[in-house]
Structure 1
Amino acid sequence: MAGPKTVNELAAYLGGTVAGDGDKVITGVSSLDDAGADQITFLANPRYAAKVATTGAGAVVLPPGAERHGRNAVVVANPYLAFAKLLTLFYVAPCQSRGVMDGAVIGRNVTLGADATIYPGAVVGDGVKLGDRVTIHPGAVLYDGVALGDDVTLHANVVVYQGCRLGNRVTVHAGTVIGSDGFGYAPDGAGYYKIPQLGIVVIEDDVEIGANCAVDRAALNATIIGRGTKLDNLVMIAHNCVIGENCMIVSQVGISGSTKVGNHVTLAGQVGVAGHLQIGDNSMVGAKSGIPGNLPAGSMVSGIPAFNHKEWLRASAVYQKLPEMRKSVAELEKKVRELEAKLAAE
Structure 2
Amino acid sequence: MKQTLAQIARHVGGEVRGNPELEITGAAPFDQAAETDITLAARPKFLKRIGETRAGAVIVPLDFQDSSRTVLAAANPAVAFAKAIALLFPAPGPKDDISSGAHVGKDVRMGLRVSIGPSAVIGDRVRIGDRVRIHPGVVIESDVIVGDDVEVYPNVTIRSRCRIGNRVVIHPGTVIGGDGFGFSPDGKHYHKIPHTGIVQIDDDVEIGALNAIDRATFGRTWIQRGVKTDNLVHVAHNVTVGEDTLLVAQVGIAGSAVIGRHAVLAGQAGITGHITIGDNAVVGPQAGVGRPVPDGEVVSGSPEMPHKLWLRVQRIIPGLPELKKKLSELEKRLKKVEENG
Query: TM-score, length-normalised on structure 2?
Result: 0.96
**How far apart are residue 77 of structure 1 and its match?**
1.1
Provide the C-alpha distance between the structure 2 equivalents of 1:313 and 1:69, rounded to a whole number of angstroms: 44
**Which segment drifts farther, 163-172 or 24-33?**
24-33
Q: Following superposition of structure 1 onto structure 2, how do residues 262-273 of structure 1 map, counting pairs within 5 Å?
A: 262-273=260-271
Paired residues of 1:60 and 1:73 also in contact (CA < 8 A): yes
Does residue 17 of structure 2 align to residue 19 of structure 1? yes
State the match for 1:285 in structure 2: 283
Paired residues of 1:280 and 1:295 also in contact (CA < 8 A): yes
Provide the C-alpha distance between the structure 2 equivalents of 1:29 and 1:161, rounded to a whole number of angstroms: 39
**Which segment drifts farther, 291-300 or 200-209?**
291-300
Gaps in structure 1 of 5+ consecutive residues: none
Q: Work out the number of aligned pairs and report it.
A: 341
Please report the RMSD computed on the Cα atoms of aligned residues, expressed in angstroms. 1.4
State the match for 1:181 in structure 2: 179
Q: Secondary structure at the match of 2:331?
A: helix
State the match for 1:312 in structure 2: 310
Q: Secondary structure at the match of 2:177?
A: strand
Q: CA-to-partner distance for each residue in 1:29-65, whole Å, 9 max, x for gaps?
A: 1111001111111112223333312111111100123
Paired residues of 1:8 and 1:23 also in contact (CA < 8 A): yes
Q: CA-to-partner distance for each residue in 1:163-202, whole Å, 9 max, x for gaps?
A: 0010001111111001010111111230011111000100
Paired residues of 2:238 and 2:256 also in contact (CA < 8 A): yes
Paired residues of 2:94 and 2:132 also in contact (CA < 8 A): no
Q: Following superposition of structure 1 onto structure 2, how do residues 68-83 of structure 1 map, counting pairs within 5 Å?
A: 68=66, 70-83=68-81
Provide the C-alpha distance between the structure 2 equivalents of 1:204 and 1:216, rounded to a whole number of angstroms: 15
- C-alpha change, 1:339 and 1:224, in structure 2 (3 Å) is same
- C-alpha change, 1:139 and 1:33, in structure 2 (3 Å) is same
**How far apart are residue 336 of structure 1 and its match?**
3.2
Provide the C-alpha distance between the structure 2 equivalents of 1:19 and 1:333, rounded to a whole number of angstroms: 72
Q: Following superposition of structure 1 onto structure 2, how do residues 243-262 of structure 1 map, counting pairs within 5 Å?
A: 243-262=241-260
| Aligned AA (1:255) | I
Q: Secondary structure at the match of 2:213?
A: strand
Q: Secondary structure at the match of 2:110?
A: coil
Q: Following superposition of structure 1 onto structure 2, how do residues 1-346 of structure 1 map, counting pairs within 5 Å?
A: 2-3=1-2, 5-68=3-66, 70-342=68-340, 344=341
Provide the C-alpha distance between the structure 1 equivalents of 2:118 and 2:314, rounded to a whole number of angstroms: 53
| Aligned AA (2:75) | A
Provide the C-alpha distance between the structure 2 equivalents of 1:336 and 1:49, rounded to a whole number of angstroms: 62
- C-alpha change, 1:303 and 1:20, in structure 2 (3 Å) is same
Gaps in structure 2 of 5+ consecutive residues: none
| Aligned AA (2:250) | Q
**Which segment drifts farther, 146-155 or 89-98?**
89-98
Q: CA-to-partner distance for each residue in 1:242-267, whole Å, 9 max, x for gaps?
A: 11111000010110001111111100
| Identity value in percent | 45
Provide the C-alpha distance between the structure 2 equivalents of 1:159 and 1:96, rounded to a whole number of angstroms: 20
**How far apart are residue 97 of structure 1 and its match?**
0.6
Provide the C-alpha distance between the structure 1 equivalents of 2:152 and 2:7, rounded to a whole number of angstroms: 34
Provide the C-alpha distance between the structure 1 equivalents of 2:284 and 2:244, rounded to a whole number of angstroms: 18
**How far apart are residue 96 of structure 1 and its match?**
3.4
Provide the C-alpha distance between the structure 1 equivalents of 2:174 and 2:5, rounded to a whole number of angstroms: 41
| Aligned AA (1:117) | S
Provide the C-alpha distance between the structure 1 equivalents of 2:280 and 2:203, rounded to a whole number of angstroms: 20
Paired residues of 2:13 and 2:80 also in contact (CA < 8 A): no
Paired residues of 2:132 and 2:149 also in contact (CA < 8 A): yes
**How far apart are residue 67 of structure 1 and its match?**
4.8
**Which segment drifts farther, 120-129 or 289-298?**
289-298
**How far apart are residue 329 of structure 1 and its match?**
2.4
